[in-house]
Every structure is written in structure tokens, then in C-alpha cells.
Structure 1
Amino acid sequence: MERLVMKRLCMLCDRKLRISLSTRVPSRVETRRIASTTSEVKFDFKRGLYKYLLLEVEKRLNFTTVVFPSTGGGSSGNLLENGSWTGLLGDVITGKADMGFAVGGNWLRFQYVDTNSGIMEYMFLSFATGKQPAEYTWMAIFLPFSFLVWCICVISFIGAFTIILTLKQTTTRSSSDDSKIKTYLKKMDAMEFVVLAFFEKSVKIQGNFSVQNFVGFWSLVGLVMSTLYKGKIVGILAFPNYPAAPRNFDELAASDYSWGLQFYGGPAYDLFRLSSNPTLKYLTSKMEIEPNATRCYERARNSKFSCITYGAMADYSIKKNFSNKFGKSDVSVASSREFITSVTPAVKKRSYLIRIFDWMISKTVDSGLIDRWVLMDYELMRQEKLIASLNGNVFDELQHDQDLSILRLKNLKGSFVILCVGGSWSCILFLLENIRKSFTIYAGKEDGINLRCWERGKHFTKMHLQRTVIRLRKTKSQVMKNSFISKEVLYI
């Protein structure tokens, strides 16, 4: 600050400035009552960004501050039906305060007060959601791949099956080589290979060179896909799956969450009430009002409820009330950024203070001190929580935190479902295999009736060849020729 402000600057000449504070924004300022010798109630800074800012500005501009919460419970201000303002804006307009720290700027407020062009920070609307309980579902077996990948796998199965059958048709053979039953069984063999290749199981399949070539490439595809699947499924089945929370207002409107606004009145309330955006209009139609910040975040933590608030206020409340000793919390702020508004001090119209504080705040923001003071405030808050924990007060523990060192039955729910499904499927395959064997025996008998002499014994697993020479009686003619007539008979 010494480099930003001239040391001998004496603009306000030890004047007392009455400053109204918006204490309903505890992320930026908190006050406390102090003892007074008079009946007048006096306040002082307890913590917050505005404390660091105003104390530094006091030194540089040579003035003192008289701070107090704004009328009406520390609100920034709402316009009543009779045309008067409440809160911080009401204090500035009526002359109760020389300056108000701080207000979100909008067109309606600009008509009644002047705000600095030196903006302290920007605030945005977002919403906080809680971490939902873990889900252990048998549907986890489908989670390693997306829906598109599963569709591609099914199409690949059908395509590979068709290619194998097409390639086998290129083998030159007579139309009467195989019966209908054996043709069906060969198709089943092809389908069995296509599927079991993804389970890395060997299947004997006969065919020409083209079929064998395609089989090698398809086995490689099955190896890659099965390796990827097994690498994912182990962690998914053994550890919990947490449902994804909405990330923006469009997803919030389409989800099964309920939602509530933390403010009744003010720019955020007017945004939802007067907006022509279809999403915001839908949210307004089903929106609750939950002005109690602690209760709003507590509901978000324990149920499918979304607390709509300013991002900075949500960060502060979560760090203070809903974090454990490691700084982790069940409540998180969505990445959505809506209705970005500037936060500046407010003064009366044509007040001389506007130029002085405009210059001072601009230099402070440009130097990065605003962000630095916010981090300092959060660090002091963390240290206070640490001291309180050492004195016996414990940190807020995560509701859905669990010890993953010991696996329980619910962790293996998907595995047991797969076991039941696999056992049932094995029984079905066992029955089909017996039916298939009976068809094979019948097909062998059918083909054995009208086999050609060079095909006999082709369809049987064991072949026995016996050569017997039957010697006939010698006839007179045979004696003369001194020869024997022999005949070979094949028995199978």
C-alpha cells in the first residue's frame, strides 16, 4: 500500500465516515458489538475483506470509520411498494450513512445511488449440491463402456458372424455335402467363436485360409476389448459409484432435484422473478425461498436439494460449517456462472467521496490485494477452527465418507449378481449342449446312410479299419491257372 498511495495524502482531514455494512454477506464482513460508555450501540469489525480494506484506507486517506449493520438485518436493500428503500441503500439515501459497503450493481439501483467505477470484485449466481450416498448396483457391469461403445460391440458381433459365414461359403463343395442340422451347428460354432473371443477363450473353428486369417484379427480385437473392460470393472464393482450432480442450471432443471433460493429480494430474486429465459422461468415456478444459509446448505447436504446462491457466499459457508479437518466437504458449488454482477461501495448521488474511493479501490484491485485479503480471511478462519478442535470441538465429518480398507458385502454386490447370472446362463448352455449332442448323433446317422465310399467314416470320431482276406475254394479252372481269387471287405 505504501507504493500505491502518497505518504502525505490528507484528503479527508480526520473526518468520521458513517459506513453501513451488508452483514448478510458473511463471506465478506462480520461485525461485533463493543462496550460503550453511552447508551449508543457501537460496532466494530470482526473479520472479512471489508475489514482489511477499510482499515488500510483509513490510514492512507486520514479518516475514521463508524461502522454498523445496515437497517433491516444487514441486507443490501430492497425497494418497497411505497417507493422507499430498506437495508444499506436505504441508509445511504436517507443520510443515515455516508457510504455503504457493498452492493451489487443493477439498473434500478443506479437511479438512486452512485457506485464506484473501481469495482472491488464480481459475484455470480451458482448453486450448491451435496454428495449423494454411494450406489452399489448390478448395473455397474455396464458402466465401463458408454452406450455408444456397447452398441458398436453388438454391431461388431453381428458383422463378424456374417463375415465368417460369408468366407466359409467360398469353400467349393457340393450342395448335398451337409445336412440342414449340420449347417445349423456350424453357424452355432461361428457365433460361439465370435462371442468367446472377447472372453479370451479358445474355440476350434474349421474353415479355409480366409476364415483363419479373419479369426486371428478378431481374436486380437477381443483381447484388446476384454483387457480394457477388466481394467475398469474391478474398481467399479469393488468401490462405490456416486451419482453425478447437475453442473449448470439447464441440467438442474432437467434433473430430479428440488431447489431453493437463499434470498428473498435483491438482484438475485429479481433475476428469477423477471427473467424471460425459459430455464430460469421454469426454475422460478418450482423454486422455494430458503433465507437461512445454514439450513439451505444442510438441506443440500442431506437430500437432493440445490441451494441457489452467490458463489463466494457458498464457498465461505462450506469452508466454515461443512468441511472436515482436511478441508473436504460433502457440499460443492457447481461450475455454472450466471448473472455476473459487480460489487462496489454505494454513496449518495453527486457525492465527493465517489472520486476518492474510486481511485483508491482501483489501485487496490489492480495490485491484487483484494484477492490476497480474501485468502487471508479464509486462512484465519481455518486456524480458528483448528484451535477450536484442539479445545475439544470437533470438525464436521463427512456423512458419506467410509473406510475402504475393509470390503463389505455391498461392495461386491455387482460381483454376486454376475455370479448368479453366470450360473443361470451356464445351466442354459448345459441344456443346449446336451440338445446339440443329440442332434449331432442324429446327423451322423443320417449322413451314414447315403455316404459315398470315400466319405465313409468322415463324421465319426473313431474309425476302425479292418482288412480281411477271404480265400475261396479252388476250382478246376483256378487250379489250372494256379491262382486265387481274393476279395477285400471293409468293415467300419
Structure 2
Amino acid sequence: MDREIHNYNIRHQIIDHHSHTHIHIETLLILSRTISPVYLPLVAKDVDPFVYVTLNPALLEPLLLSRALPARTKYKLGLSLDKTRGELVIRSVCFFCDAGGPVVLTLPAQSPATFDYFPDYVLNLEGHLLRIACPAIKSRIEALPPYEEVNNAQRGMWKTMFEQFLMVKFNFTYNVFLSVGKSGSYIGGGGTGLELENGTWIGTVGDIVAGRADIGIITANTPKRVKVVAFTNSFFDISYLNFITTEGTRVFSPAALLWSFDILMWACIGLSTVVAFLIFKIITRTMTALGLDKGDAMSFARRGIVSHENWGIQHQIFFVATSYLDQDCVLPRFTPLRCFVALWLFFTLIITTIYRSKMVSLLAFPVLEKLPLTFEQLVASDYQVGFIKHGDSAYNTLKASTDKVYVTLVDEMEIITGNGLECLERAVAKKYACIAYAFSTIYLKARNLSDSDIRKLVFAPESTYNIFMGLALEGGSIYKEGFERWLGWTRPFHLADLWEEQDMYYNVRLPKRAWWLETNQTDKLEHSDFVESDDLTLKHISGAFYALAGCLLICAGVFVQELVSYYWEREMEKGLIWVRLKVRLRTMVKLKNRRVVRFNNYY
């Protein structure tokens, strides 16, 4: 409500109610001028002053203390007229003046112009007990059931913030308890805020709406929640979702022989080889067409020895293969062919030099497995995914997303409740990605994992669902203005980061180390060698042996082919000899028969 309109209404209400007496009108006008400041362009939410007017002075106290709107109004006055004495009655409420309880105060009707009728009565709570609902997030605050003691938080940065900061400023006590779940108790609870199908809320938001809590902590601001509870504009805690994998393993593979070039480069090399054969063919055909293939023009030389054979396709294949392998080549003698061969040798020199330099590094120093760095890469990878569900807002937001990446992620990921340690253990042991709030993983590392296991974890650089958490309160809460003002000083001075580091070290890490020593788990305290040994072993150069085995198989295949060809030709020759013998025998028989016939005829 705008202050000018509000004060204008106050002024006219006072005039209407007391127009029967000129004296009281003058008094009320003076009073209205004292409570009507000059024009202020900025109006803060939930801090507007209210004046409640009643004709019966006896109704002022129950009106100001009622659980309806007046009780939730921080700056308020009650006005009435005592007709018996003809005096104006002005009363207000000091919320905590009676040892933390409310007291109705009577203010003077006539006062100096500087008198403040709307003081801030929420500066000292006089030990008043605040009920604080928290989710089951031990990384931020931890308390033990049955949650009945005063100032009962065991540890956590929110405990430090309350006890060393806000309690010092406002002088209150607190009782923190786990938020209520569907069962109506803290058993099975611990959520931040979930609206059920019947319209009721559970979690910290539900506790505030139902009046079980004055404050809710570690609760994100969402469009649905802001309709039922209020949030401080200042925030104390920050977090976000990211995912964790383990360090990539070193890849030792015979395929490293092909990793020097990508698919496109190999395709270009293959295409260049085909083009070389085409150019050889074009040049030789041109020589034949022009009649330049006479004599030794098509011959070749090797190691200074000139051959009189033609430089045919078999010699061209041999030349290309030996040029790639940097071996002795069979070179043509014709000048155009020699020019192209020289250019081709320069091309293969560049290719083979690059290939060998990269191949040596790949075989001796293998590459690490590529890890997913974004949620899109995570969905496309073969990693299993787990989601540590702390609170409700993150999961509900991902579930409501229409982005294909998050839709696929929600369908495939495993929901992990509790503290989420098993999720990190799986990430260390196998190809498993763990999605969680950053503050959850920080706590789990400090509380459960050894330094050697922590070094194996890799945090992806991409994050999503950034949240800024202050205090959640009921609408129009009298605590909002003061807590919001002082909470705003925690971020500029990095108090949240400081208290988090102190809590993780003194309250989480050191007790873990002490327990390991008591239980003789000293192996977890040993420092592991993060850098793997780079000494050359058989697996580093296994590709060379695989290549040798492949060459032996090829040689064996060629040898078998030669044997088959040899015996085939031999059998063919045997067949020809047998045919020749049969023909000769038949010829000899015919000749003999002719001689016999001639002899018989003669005699």
C-alpha cells in the first residue's frame, strides 16, 4: 500500500469518526501529521504501517493480538475513543517485551512532533523461541531427533549463522526440526516443499503454511512456493547442480595405429592414392597414344640398374606402397612420370613424418578416456547416471523441463535418497555419473572419502539450476525486515564460505580422521600417487606387435596363395604332358597299325 494513500485514508477516517467534537479533530490532525511523513518514492514490502480503528476501546487489545491480519503486521496502531473521559486511546504491541511474549502498550495522544508511533519492536526478541524447519541436508545443518531441545543444531554453516550472527543481533533462541513428510511427522520427511494433489504442502514450505514453523531454511524460491510463503530478498547460501565422474582411464589399443589421423584425413590420403594411380594411367596412355613408348621409354630403374621391362601396374602399386613405408622404390625413366613421382615422394614425406611423430606419442603415452563435460554429452555417453535427491525443487524442475536433454536424463537416471554416499562410491568404482548439489558432494567428500578417492573424482564444468537460498517465512512475517537486513551482510564479507570451510574441516573432516585412527583404518590416510608411471611397458607398444601379427597373417596368406598357384600350374603342366603322351601313343599305334596293314597286303 502506498504510504500517501494510506495516510490520506487515515486522516479522513479520523475526521469521519470524530467529527462530533472539534477538540478531538484538532488532536487527531496533529497526530496524523506526525505519522504522515513526506513523500517517499521507495516503499518496502511488508513494512507499511497500519492503523486499526474501533469505537470500543476494550476491543483494541484482542484486535491487535488476534491471529488474523493484525498479528502479522509489524508496524501497527490501534485507535479508539474513550467516550467517558473524552480522550483518544492509542495502543501498539511490543511483540517480545514480556520475556519473549507480547505486551500491549498505550501511547500518548499528545506528543512531540519527533515522537515515533511506529518503532521497530523486532530488534530484541528477549529469548523468544523460533521454530525452524529444515530439510534432510546434513551438509548444511544437522540435528538429532526427537528435535525437542533448544538451540539443538549439532553442526553446519546454518547453525553458525544463527548462533554466531542472528542470535547475537536479535537475542532469540531456536528449535530446529526436520520438515514433516506425508506421514504427518518427521519420519519420512526432510523435503523442502512439495505440493500434493489435494493442494496441501509438505516439507519446509508445508510447515510454514501450517503454522508449525516460523522459519524455513535451505529452501529454494520457486514460482509455486512464492504464492504461499515469503522469501527474504537477501540470501545466505548458494548452490547448483552438476555431475561428477571419475578420472578417465588410459586407453591402450592397437587401434592407436590409426589415431594419428582422423577419418577425414584417412579418406583424403586414400583419395590421393587413387588419384595417383589415375595420373599414372593417364601419362602412360598418353605416351602410348603419341608413340613415345618405343624402346626403353617405359622401362624403370632400381638402385642404378635399368630394367627393360615396362613400368606396369604391378610396379606402380609397389612404388606407392614403398613410398608410404619409406622404402626403396622402383622409379620410372620417362621424364613426365619422374616429375610426378618426385612430387608424390615429397607428399608422402610430409604425411609419413606427421604420422610417425604422432604415432610415437600415442603408443608411448596413451590418451585418456574422454569424459562427458556437459549434460548433453552425458546423455549421449554410455555412463550410468544417479541423482542424489536432496529436497524437491531440483528434481521437480528437471522433471518439468521440456528440453530433450533433461527429458532423457530424467527417464534414465536413478533416484538416490539418503545422504547419497553410494552415488559417489559408484562414480569412483565404475563408469557412473552422479548428479547432485555442489554442497552435497562437498560434504560427502569431507565426511566419507579418503584423499586418494577424492582425487579420482572429476567435476564437470557445466552446471544447471543455480539456487540462492535465504529464509522462507509466512507472508507478512514480522521477522522478514530485520532478518533480511542483517542477512544481506553475510555475502559481501564471504561469511558463508568461511563458515562452510570451518564446518567441513573441524566438524566433518577431523572427526572422520580420528575415527579412522581409532578403528585402525590407516590405509585410508595414505597418500596415493596421483600421476601414473610413464615407464614403457608391453601394453604401451602393443600396437607394434599387433601390426607384426597382422603382417605375418598377410604373409602367410600370400605364401598359401603362392603354393596353391604353384601346384595348380604344376598340375596343369602334368595334365598337358599326359595329353601329349596320349596323343603320341595314339599316333604310334596308328603308325604301327598302318605298317601291319601294309605288310599283310604285301604278302
Q: TM-score, normalised by structure 1?
A: 0.70
TM-superposed CA distance for 1:295, in Å, is 1.9
Q: CA separation in 2, counterparts of 1:162 and 1:244?
A: 40
Kindly indicate whether the alpha-carbon contact (under 8 Å) linking 1:43 and 1:67 is maintained by their aligned counterparts in 2: yes
Task: Work out which of the residue numbers 389, 392, 396 in structure 2 matches 1:270.
Answer: 396
Q: CA separation in 1, counterparts of 2:269 and 2:526?
A: 44
| Residue aligning to 2:415 | 289
1:321 paired with 2:448, answer yes
Kindly indicate whether the alpha-carbon contact (under 8 Å) linking 1:167 and 1:211 is maintained by their aligned counterparts in 2: yes
Q: CA separation in 2, counterparts of 1:266 and 1:254?
A: 26
| Residue aligning to 2:543 | 414
| Residue aligning to 2:260 | 144
1:68 paired with 2:186, answer no
SS at match of 1:364: coil
Distance 1:203 1:67, change over 3 A: farther
Please give the per-residue CA displacement for 1:95-132, whole angstroms capped at 9, x wherever unaligned. Answer: 33322222111111111211122233443333333456
Kindly indicate whether the alpha-carbon contact (under 8 Å) linking 2:311 and 2:332 is maintained by their aligned counterparts in 1: no
Q: TM-score, normalised by structure 2?
A: 0.59
SS at match of 1:365: coil
| Residue aligning to 1:87 | 203
| Residue aligning to 2:139 | 27
User: Which residues in structure 2 correspond to 1:197-276 (within 5 Å)?
Assistant: 197-208=323-334, 211-238=337-364, 242-263=368-389, 266-276=392-402
| Residue aligning to 2:554 | 425
Kindly indicate whether the alpha-carbon contact (under 8 Å) linking 1:103 and 1:343 is maintained by their aligned counterparts in 2: yes
> Which is worse superposed, 254-263 or 396-405?
396-405
1:157 paired with 2:273, answer yes
SS at match of 2:421: helix
User: Which residues in structure 2 correspond to 1:367-446 (within 5 Å)?
Assistant: 367-380=493-506, 381-382=508-509, 392-393=520-521, 394-395=523-524, 404=533, 409-427=538-556
TM-superposed CA distance for 1:167, in Å, is 5.5
1:78 paired with 2:194, answer yes
Q: CA separation in 1, counterparts of 2:435 and 2:239?
A: 13
Distance 1:201 1:107, change over 3 A: same
**Relative contact order, higher structure (CA 8 A, sep 6+):** 1
> Which is worse superposed, 284-293 or 183-192?
183-192
When the two chains are superposed, the root-mean-square deviation of aligned CA atoms in Å is: 4.2
Unaligned 5+ residue runs, structure 1? 1-9, 436-492
TM-superposed CA distance for 1:14, in Å, is 4.3
| Residue aligning to 1:486 | none
Distance 1:429 1:216, change over 3 A: farther
TM-superposed CA distance for 1:334, in Å, is 2.8
Kindly indicate whether the alpha-carbon contact (under 8 Å) linking 2:131 and 2:214 is maintained by their aligned counterparts in 1: yes
- Counterpart AA for 2:428: R
Kindly indicate whether the alpha-carbon contact (under 8 Å) linking 2:136 and 2:391 is maintained by their aligned counterparts in 1: no
Q: CA separation in 1, counterparts of 2:394 and 2:543?
A: 45
Please give the per-residue CA displacement for 1:429-451, whole angstroms capped at 9, x wherever unaligned. Answer: 7789999xxxxxxxxxxxxxxxx
Q: CA separation in 1, counterparts of 2:215 and 2:318?
A: 81
Task: Work out which of the residue numbers 346, 349, 360 in structure 1 matches 2:472.
Answer: 346
Task: Work out which of the residue numbers 435, 439, 454 in structure 2 matches 1:308.
Answer: 435
TM-superposed CA distance for 1:400, in Å, is 12
Task: Work out which of the residue numbers 466, 469, 486 in structure 2 matches 1:360.
Answer: 486
Tell which structure's C-alpha radius of gyration is larger: 2
Task: Work out which of the residue numbers 73, 94, 116 in structure 1 matches 2:232.
Answer: 116
> Which is worse superposed, 383-392 or 153-162?
383-392
Q: CA separation in 1, counterparts of 2:227 and 2:386?
A: 30
Distance 1:424 1:374, change over 3 A: same
Aligned residues: 421
TM-superposed CA distance for 1:220, in Å, is 4.1
- Counterpart AA for 1:302: A
| Residue aligning to 1:53 | 161
Kindly indicate whether the alpha-carbon contact (under 8 Å) linking 2:455 and 2:530 is maintained by their aligned counterparts in 1: no
Q: CA separation in 1, counterparts of 2:124 and 2:377?
A: 52
SS at match of 1:306: strand
Identity %: 24
Q: CA separation in 2, counterparts of 1:14 and 1:76?
A: 29
Distance 1:260 1:247, change over 3 A: same
| Residue aligning to 1:299 | 426
| Residue aligning to 2:112 | none
Distance 1:170 1:84, change over 3 A: same
TM-superposed CA distance for 1:230, in Å, is 3.0
Kindly indicate whether the alpha-carbon contact (under 8 Å) linking 2:135 and 2:204 is maintained by their aligned counterparts in 1: no
Distance 1:233 1:397, change over 3 A: farther
SS at match of 1:123: strand
- Counterpart AA for 1:370: A
TM-superposed CA distance for 1:267, in Å, is 1.4
| Residue aligning to 1:128 | 244
SS at match of 2:233: coil
Kindly indicate whether the alpha-carbon contact (under 8 Å) linking 2:318 and 2:330 is maintained by their aligned counterparts in 1: no
